[in-house]
Homo-oligomer: A and B are copies of this chain.
Amino acid sequence: MYKLLSLKFGVCNKIIVSKAYPLLYTHTRKMSSFDKLFSKIDELKPTFINRLAKAVEIPAVSSDESLRPMVVKKAEFLLEQLEANGFTDIQRKELGTQPPPVNDENLQLPPVILSRYGNDPAKKTVLVYGHYDVQPASIEDGWESEPFKLVINEEKQLLRARGATDDTGPLTGWINVIQAHREAGIELPVNLITCFEGMEESGSLGLDALIAREATQYFKDVDAVCISDNYWLGAKKPCLTYGLRGCNYYQITINGPAADLHSGIFGGVIAEPMIDLVQVMGTLADSKGNILIKGIEEMVAPITDKESKSYDNIDFSLEDIEAASGSKTSLYQKKEDILMHRWRYPSLSIHGVEGAFSGQGAKTVIPAKVSGKFSIRTVPDIDSDKLTNLVVEHCNKAFKNLGSPNTCVAELIHDGNYWLSDPYNSSFSAAAKATKAVYGVEPDLTREGGSIPITLTFQDELKTSVMLLPMGRGDDGAHSINEKLDISNFMKGMKLMAAYLHYYAESPEK
């Protein structure tokens, strides 16, 4: 474990390097003291599953403008839940209209929900963040059941619905932890602040500014931020996460004729935007996982020997990635290569095309305007603005080389920086103890390939440490079909949250 401690964290300029503590896994709190609380959590299982069921039934897809009222409806549902469970100072923070590109210029952003549980100056204050919006989902995508209806599969011991693991399960988990304390008659040893947003899946629009505004207001006494919005590395062992990749999302739009055309009448005569787009997108990445845009590789922080060795202890294997993807399509065979490409190298994914024919069957259309969507996951020391300049220049050059009479615009849709923290500070240490108490094992200390840009904003604006405490597993299918959360992860995850708050309360430093 001490190997990891000496990792060169300086690769990320913005991180807070706090003093590292030896991990005291000797349990200062008798396990028996958690018994009452954990029993209450077990007893309330039907109530907690019911709360999750009601929450995921609301299709709060933030990227779909037509579903914006549903995102707001879900916020209102959560406001009721907070009120019913004794939270105070509940504030529905409006963020104004959504900035372009947007179809409805007057589209309002969904609210951020702030609330407190406890306000004792003698206690530490923990801010817990979650998001109530979800990724799009449709049964036509291949779901086994309606994505916005919670399926409780007793046989497989799992809960299936869009949002089960990302992030409605963990978010409601915090409310549940408070309910369990109240009903068990156990005092919460910290002050808790909630910050629940509804735009995480669409770039957390408006949240950065809110955090900056509230840093010296609502959030002024926050000692630690805990975010439960990621997953275990695999499906077996709990982990604590101290690093994330960033995500820069781009689109290349090729504009040709004024409207879609018949390929019989115009095929061979008109320069087709879709043919141009395929050519330009073909220059972005190859099938071996290499990004072909020049200048990116040079920005990636080099691997030290110590970092290289740190991968030895992680509980992960090729079989894990094959199980999680349900295929033998990994680009790498060795554990170290897989983990490094997941969390310390950039990657480029092509997500799809807007404006082209996307249905079943055969439609003989020449699409008039097509937008190719792709994103680059960023890592230390990639500079977001510099990356965007490289991407836009690359696309413009690739398009110019085609000599097409169409027009091309390459642009950033949203970006979020990478994040790297110190996995031995008091917050991480408390979570490590909690993991031992609940799961009986010491957690792996991991980084993640995904992006939660707001992590960095909390760290910078609140000048405090942030920790990622995952509830779900690596095979939960977040952003995919048949998203699920194992019932054991839901139940033990809440116990973990609760134990974390207790261990953090008694840690010697803030």
Least Cβ distance of A7 to chain B in Å?
20
Contact (A362, B203) CB under 8 Å given A259-B480, A279-B282, A325-B257: yes
Do A245 and B264 have beta carbons less than 8 Å apart? yes
Cα separation A346 to B259 with both chains bound (whole Å) = 22
Residue in contact with A377 in the complex, picked from B203, B263, B270, CB distance below 8 Å = B263
Residues of chain B contacted by A270 (CB below 8 angstroms): 321, 325, 327, 329-331
**CB of A118 closer than 8 Å to a CB of B:** no
Contact (A362, B267) CB under 8 Å given A261-B479, A367-B351, A480-B260: no
Least Cβ distance of A144 to chain B in Å?
11
Question: A254-298, CB under 8 A of B: which get 1 and which 0?
Answer: 001111111111111111101110110110111111000000000
Question: A466-487, CB under 8 A of B: which get 1 and which 0?
Answer: 0000000010011111100000
Do A362 and B375 have beta carbons less than 8 Å apart? yes
Do A65 and B360 have beta carbons less than 8 Å apart? yes
Closest to A166 in B: B262
Cα separation A137 to B373 with both chains bound (whole Å) = 23
**CB of A216 closer than 8 Å to a CB of B:** no
Do B262 and A360 have beta carbons less than 8 Å apart? no
Do A329 and B257 have beta carbons less than 8 Å apart? yes
Of residues A141, A325, A329, which shows the largest number of chain B Cβ atoms within 10 Å of its Cβ?
A329
Question: A347-382, CB under 8 A of B: which get 1 and which 0?
Answer: 111111110111111111111100001010100000
Q: How many copies does the complex hold?
A: 2
Within 8 A of B (CB), among A235-266: 245, 247, 249, 256-266
Q: How large is the interface on A (under 10, 10 to 19, 20 to 34, 35 or more residues)?
A: 35 or more
Question: A113-149, CB under 8 A of B: which get 1 and which 0?
Answer: 0000000000000000000000110000110000000
Do A267 and B348 have beta carbons less than 8 Å apart? yes
Within 8 A of B (CB), among A178-210: 202-203
Closest to A262 in B: B479
Residue in contact with A449 in the complex, picked from B247, B266, B278, B360, CB distance below 8 Å = B266
Of residues A135, A274, A276, A361, which shows the largest number of chain B Cβ atoms within 10 Å of its Cβ?
A361
Cα separation A278 to B272 with both chains bound (whole Å) = 15
Do B259 and A103 have beta carbons less than 8 Å apart? no
Residues of chain B contacted by A332 (CB below 8 angstroms): 269
Cα separation A361 to B63 with both chains bound (whole Å) = 6
Residues of chain B contacted by A404 (CB below 8 angstroms): 287
Residue in contact with A373 in the complex, picked from B135, B362, B482, CB distance below 8 Å = B362
**CB of A492 closer than 8 Å to a CB of B:** no
Cα separation A404 to B288 with both chains bound (whole Å) = 7
**CB of A448 closer than 8 Å to a CB of B:** yes
Do B347 and A367 have beta carbons less than 8 Å apart? no
Do B264 and A377 have beta carbons less than 8 Å apart? yes
Do B258 and A351 have beta carbons less than 8 Å apart? no
Residues of chain B contacted by A350 (CB below 8 angstroms): 272, 274-275, 278, 356
Residues of chain B contacted by A4 (CB below 8 angstroms): none
**CB of A158 closer than 8 Å to a CB of B:** no
Least Cβ distance of A257 to chain B in Å?
4
Do A365 and B267 have beta carbons less than 8 Å apart? no
Question: A6-20, CB under 8 A of B: which get 1 and which 0?
Answer: 000000000000000
Closest to A399 in B: B287
Residues of chain B contacted by A103 (CB below 8 angstroms): 360
**CB of A76 closer than 8 Å to a CB of B:** no
- Choose, from A46-54, A83-91, A337-345, A455-463, the stretch at the interface: A337-345
Cα separation A140 to B250 with both chains bound (whole Å) = 23
Of residues A348, A365, A403, which shows the largest number of chain B Cβ atoms within 10 Å of its Cβ?
A365
Closest to A264 in B: B450
Closest to A357 in B: B352
Residues of chain B contacted by A402 (CB below 8 angstroms): 286-287
**CB of A326 closer than 8 Å to a CB of B:** yes
Do A231 and B268 have beta carbons less than 8 Å apart? no
Residue in contact with A363 in the complex, picked from B262, B278, B351, CB distance below 8 Å = B351
Residues of chain B contacted by A141 (CB below 8 angstroms): 260
Closest to A321 in B: B269
Contact (A269, B449) CB under 8 Å given A141-B260, A279-B287, A330-B405: yes
Residues of chain B contacted by A348 (CB below 8 angstroms): 267-268, 275
**CB of A413 closer than 8 Å to a CB of B:** yes
Within 8 A of B (CB), among A371-420: 373, 375, 377, 402-406, 413-414
14 A-B pairs within 8 Å (CB atoms) are namely A64-B360, A258-B325, A261-B480, A262-B450, A266-B321, A266-B325, A266-B342, A268-B342, A268-B449, A269-B331, A274-B352, A329-B405, A362-B373, A362-B413
Closest 7 CB pairs of A and B: A258-B326, A264-B450, A268-B347, A352-B357, A352-B356, A282-B282, A358-B358
